[in-house]
Amino acid sequence: MKPVAFMMSLMLSLVPLASHAAERPINVTTSFSILDDMVQEVGGEHVHVRSLISPEGDAHGYNPRPRDVGAIAQADLVVFNGLQFEGWMSRLLDAAHYRNPVVIASDGITPLKNQEEHDDDDHDHDAHEHEAGHEHHHHHGPQDPHAWQDLRNGAQYVRNIRDGLIKVDPAHADDYRQRADAYIARIMTLDGQIRQQMQQLPKDSVVITGHASFNYFANAYGLPFMALQGLSTEDDPSAASVAGLVRTVNEHHVRALFNESMTRSALLNQLSQETRVPIAGTLHSDALAAKGDASTYLGMMQHNADLLYNALHAPAAPRP
Ligand SMILES: [Zn+2]
């Protein structure tokens, strides 16, 4: 590079830094897409958010990549779910020699017991190895990590995120408080709406999904969920266990089955064919959609509630 060109590029890179130094957005690294959206809502223009796991990605079986170490090392604040949802996070923080503040978003919520029981104790699944019919979607630890599925817990996540942002960027504390208050108001409005919606469903409604990630939703909004993986942990269920699932569907007068965004279940398709219970659509549990109505936290919760309501509120059609 010629000296003049070098000086020019030096000036170009220095000038914006000098004039905007006080307004540099703080770097927040989140573990997964739902937290990404929440931090963006509370932080607004004051934050630059990046998520280790992109929308549609699976946090449970995630294997951190080398560039994730950089994303942590450059962060002013790291936000993750806790409740052992991201079992890999402490190793990553160590690897990045991270010393800045951390927000554990689920701090202060009342955890539910983990209802998934697996014998398999393999911690090193790669999310990309997942294939139809081979879901290794394991939760480790005694507590259920999917706390955001109850919007009141979501409001607590937002309070924790607000406090974390204020800690690293006290100059904008008032902004963070105002934005958090407004966001929490929207969260609580939707909470009330979903509560009303779910109360209108027949009392015997049972929802069958792929993995046990809706216990908080079930607990908050009074709709029982059953997970295929709770009923059958086999990758390739024998004819006998499929028969057991078919019996369960018939005994509980299940009106609809639901796919989950991250797991494509051959078993669910088989169950639908054998019971003639339709698959009503796709619920989002652990990750936002890349686009569309479920691409924000509130949008995802609304999408799930509307899908459940539309599939279950009609009287059950007579079975052949
Ligand atoms: Zn999950």
For the chain, the C-alpha Rg in angstroms (whole number) is 22
Rounded to 10°, the helix 297-312/173-199 angle is 0
pLDDT at 261: 81
What is the whole-number distance in angstroms between the Cα of residue 172 and the centre of ligand 1? 34
SS3 162: helix
3 part of a folded domain: no
Same domain for 170 and 196, yes or no, is no
Q: How far is the CA of 152 from the centre of ligand 1 (A)?
A: 19
Cα dihedral value 209, 214, 220, 221, nearest 10:
-20
Each residue's pLDDT tens digit, 276-306? 999 999 999 999 999 999 999 999 999 999 9
| Counted domains in the chain | 2
Residues 202 and 109 in one domain: no
Q: State the maximum Cα–Cα separation within the chain, in Å, rounded to a whole number.
A: 83
Residues 28 and 172 in one domain: yes
220's tokens? 């908050």
Q: Say whether both 169 and 205 belong to one domain.
A: no
Nearest residue to 80 (alpha-carbon basis) of 166, 157, 177, 187: 157
Distance 285 CA to ligand 1 centre (A): 7
Nearest-angstrom CA–CA distance, 147 and 115? 13
First CA to last CA distance, the chain: 79
Per-residue CA distances from 63 to 103, 125, 129, 238 (Å): 21, 8, 11, 30
Give the domain-ending residue among 187, 204, 221: 187
Q: Which two tokens stand for residue 55?
A: 């929308």
Cα 291 to averaged position of ligand 1 atoms, centre (Å): 20
Final residue in a domain of this structure, among 161, 187, 213: 187
Q: Please report, for the domain that includes residue 44, its CATH number.
A: 3.40.50.1980
178 and 200 inside one domain: no
Structural domain containing residue 227: 191-312
Residues 130 and 215 in one domain: no
On the question of pLDDT at 90 being above 90, the answer is: yes
292: left (phi over 0), alpha (psi -120 to 50) or beta: left
Distance 295 CA to ligand 1 centre (A): 17
Contact (CB, 8 A) for 223 and 209? no
CA nearest to 29, candidates 115, 89, 117: 89
Among 121-125, 180-184, 244-248, name the most confident range.
Answer: 180-184
300 contacts 288 by C-beta, under 8 angstroms: yes
168 and 209, same domain (yes or no):
no
Confidence label for 45 from pLDDT (cuts 50, 70 and 90): very high
Mark whether 210 and 162 lie in a shared domain. no
Q: How far is the CA of 60 from the centre of ligand 1 (A)?
A: 7
